Amino acid sequence: MFLLCSTSKKVAVYGDSLYIALINGVPPQKPTTMKTLKLTLLFCLISVFSFADVSLDQKTALVDLYNATDGESWSRTWDLDEPVSTWYGITIENFNVVEINLSFNQLKGNLPASIADLTSLKVLNLSFNKLEGELPETLKNMFNLEELKLFSNNFTGSIPLKIGNLTNLKSLELFNNNFSGEIPSSIGSLVKLEKLILSSNKLIGKLPSSISNLKSLKVLSVFDNNLLGAIPSSIGKLKELEELVLSNNAFYGSIPNELAQLTNLKTLLLGNNQFEGNYAVLKDKLPNLVNFDLDAANLKGTLATLDTEDDDD
């Protein structure tokens, strides 16, 4: 039986005897002690781990990213002959890639499907680049992701329908792209989410009522899209919300009474929509409010009633 390592030797074990044979075929000459065996195995392990700091699958996924996004033209590129641990923007823990931060790095091209092979990845930050195309369907399999920051690129297509699979997400920031279609209702499965920023895209349809499941949400921003419909009254369940930005859309109807229950709000921007009624009293209902914006038409006329009681179902 032979143990192979990155040294120029083979370790051969015959029963209880140990021999060291050179690679060039010189026959074993002398038995060595168990101490020698332990030292040799330790040397093999040190050699292996010093050159292979992540698995081959993970390194291949990173090289795919490099090739798909014109890595040679990045502001800070990678030397593919060097260990992955030396590559700019890569964080490794326990031999796994856990973070990629290549923000402001002149990436251009598409995000490859093999990005999902980085199964231990917690943070993917590719913001402020020139990435384009649709997000790969495999993204739904990156179950350990906690932060997905793809803002300020040129991504197109829909937000993946199964984005709700990423149940460990705390931050989903896709603003300033060209995403279209509706906000998927599965987004309500992201119960750990604290930031949901989808502003400055081409999103249509209504704000899904499933958003009310996001009890940890602190920031909800969807301004500058083509969203419409009434604001769901269930938004009042987002007790931790500090920023609510809905301006520059086509929302209409009455602002729900439940909005007055969001007493942690510091920013409330509702302007350039088609809300009905005078909601000047709203500002007084929210003691921590610092930034408040509402169309002039909604600040005059008969005051709308804003109570803090839950509606009867």
Task: Reply yes or no on whether the pLDDT at 158 is more than 50.
Answer: yes
pLDDT given for residue 284 in this prediction:
84
146's tokens: 């906690």
215's tokens: 């009890």
Residue 53 CB-density burial (10 A; 0-12 exposed, 13-18 middle, 19+ buried): middle
pLDDT given for residue 34 in this prediction:
58
pLDDT digits (tens, 9 = 90+) for 183-216: 999 999 999 999 999 999 999 999 999 999 999 9
What is the three-class DSSP state of 257?
helix
CA angle (121 as vertex; 117, 122 as ends), nearest 5 = 155
CA distances to 13, 99, 110 from 177, rounded to whole Å, are: 61, 22, 13
Domains of the chain are: 2-50 (no CATH), 54-299 (3.80.10.10)
pLDDT digits (tens, 9 = 90+) for 67-116: 999 999 999 999 999 999 999 999 999 999 999 999 999 999 999 999 99
At 117, the pLDDT band (50, 70, 90 cuts) reads very high
Task: Reply yes or no on whether the pLDDT at 136 is more than 80.
Answer: yes
Across the strands, what pairs with 205? 227
Q: Stretch 245-253: mean pLDDT, rounded? A: 96
Task: Reply yes or no on whether the pLDDT at 260 is more than 70.
Answer: yes
pLDDT given for residue 305 in this prediction:
52
pLDDT given for residue 35 in this prediction:
56
Task: Reply yes or no on whether the pLDDT at 48 is more than 50.
Answer: no
